[in-house]
Chain A
């Protein structure tokens, strides 16, 4: 089973996770930029984070045979902090980089005017840079948040079929699907979605434009949830082709809209044996 995790925060994970992910079949990931749990207090803090997503983290992933890409954005939560807003001016120089495959995560957290502005601004940036957008849907007041999100997308220069709306559930999937957007589901140990509910949704709505991710981060989460969904799909009668479509071909198709996917782990990125992550001699 080949797996592309289209949303996972690897900076929060250990090399043990990379090793287990590779063993489970994960060969490619997209790491969306988001908040760090501890609020940032300046634009400079974002820049070091973006640089890590384009430097150290792809190197780490390559050591474990996993191709790493990222999405770049000011996240919805920190769009409310005026100290962080100047990072919007820095985004264009990041959005031209190789391996930046979308603008994201953008969207709503508390549905404030500041979030309206940041979302609209960054949808325009996506359109300007030929990138799709990864849009987070809010945890609170989710259905209203989805509707408002889709309204802003429709008013933007970015076609809806270049948008992935993420963290969907039973209450939001139908309207998201009807909009023509790509459909993201974050499968957690509990909360947003689990594998049993995920398989039920796949049966009801089909695998078309569906992406499943672990969204694993610094909170309670499991980087192997993608594999567990694939296993349950097979156990529940889906074909291997269905699984491959959801866990590999759909994310490749969506992020491939950027023209920047590089699914081979560049062998030039790793030395032949031993390395600093494995702490060769240190």
Chain B
């Protein structure tokens, strides 16, 4: 099978000020879904150049002062759209999450900007969910992202919000989809807690491994990791979700 070129063509990204960012494959602890907005803003401000930081400060002030819907396109929605070219692609996710947070976007607003958004904007909405939506109202956005074959969206959909609210059947299928599509299961928030003692997930994983083996294909290494996590006797992990209640 052909492997994608992207990984070795462009290992790094560059931000708008020419600073080389680290590899963009973020581990779970540094995605904007896992960092409280105040800390996210401080970290982003420290990494942006002068013009981008000034843009961000103004965008967040405007969003805080004029949330909601006004005019043909609300100013915070305009800022959401242009965040990539203003802050650089490496910082766009964080900038967009902060704009959404400053605008106090509710489920209706998040649904609108997700449905009207580019893939990058949709990813930012998914990252923003744990910061902005306390209940399960925004689950249709997670479900939409999980239906796509865009691995960036699938990974972003499986943050703390999905860990908190996604029902067991959909959650198991999402984990399996990660294995199918090569999304590292490290992207799945709260994996150990949700997998623990899940006999149905264990069965699905074993069946998938059998299918791959029957076809003389390799079994993804991540499958063994998740399968081990399904053992009921495994010690419970520490606090995995700093943002709210456990369901």
Contact = CB atoms under 8 A, between A and B. Distances in A.
Contacts of A273: 3-4, 7, 182
A45 interface: no
A272 B151 CA distance: 10
A260 B85 contact: yes
Interface in B1-45: 1-7, 9-14, 23-26
Contact of A276 (B82, B150, B217): B150
B12 A267 contact: yes
B91 to A, nearest CB: 10
Given A267-B12, A272-B7, A54 B89 contact: no
A266 B13 contact: yes
Given A64-B6, A273-B7, A281 B12 contact: no
B170 interface: no
B149 interface: yes
Nearest to B150: A59
A180 interface: no
Interface stretch (B61-69, B118-126, B158-166, B193-201): B118-126
Nearest to A282: B180
Nearest to B90: A268
Contacts of A280: 180-182
Contacts of A19: 2
Contact of B152 (A59, A274, A277): A59
Interface size class of B (residues with CB under 8 A): 35 or more
A65 B180 CA distance: 22
Contacts of B81: 93, 96-98
A63 B24 contact: no
Contact of A259 (B12, B78, B85): B85
Interface residues of A, number: 39
A98 B82 CA distance: 6
A205 interface: no
Interface in B140-161: 148-152, 154-155
Contacts of A259: 85
A276 B151 contact: yes
B46 interface: no
Given A55-B122, A97-B81, A273-B4, A267 B150 contact: no
Contacts of A272: 7, 25, 182, 184
B183 interface: yes
Contact of B25 (A54, A65, A96, A267): A267
B184 A265 contact: no
A268 B89 CA distance: 8
A262 B85 contact: yes
Interface string A62-93: 11110000000000000000000000000011
Interface in A202-260: 259-260
Nearest to A64: B5
Interface in B201-218: 208, 212, 217
A271 B13 contact: no
B84 interface: yes
A278 B182 CA distance: 10
Given A265-B9, A272-B184, A93 B120 contact: no
Contacts of A97: 81, 118, 121
B172 to A, nearest CB: 15
Interface in B58-92: 72-73, 78, 81-85, 89-90, 92
B56 interface: no
Contacts of A55: 118-119, 122, 150
A202 B81 CA distance: 39
B89 A64 contact: no
A64 B2 CA distance: 10
A111 interface: no
B113 to A, nearest CB: 10
A157 to B, nearest CB: 19
Given A98-B120, A268-B13, A281-B180, A275 B5 contact: no
Given A99-B118, A262-B89, A266-B13, 9 more contacts: A55-B119, A59-B150, A63-B4, A93-B116, A98-B118, A267-B10, A268-B89, A268-B90, A275-B181
Closest 7 CB pairs of A and B: A274-B182, A268-B24, A276-B149, A65-B5, A65-B9, A98-B84, A281-B180
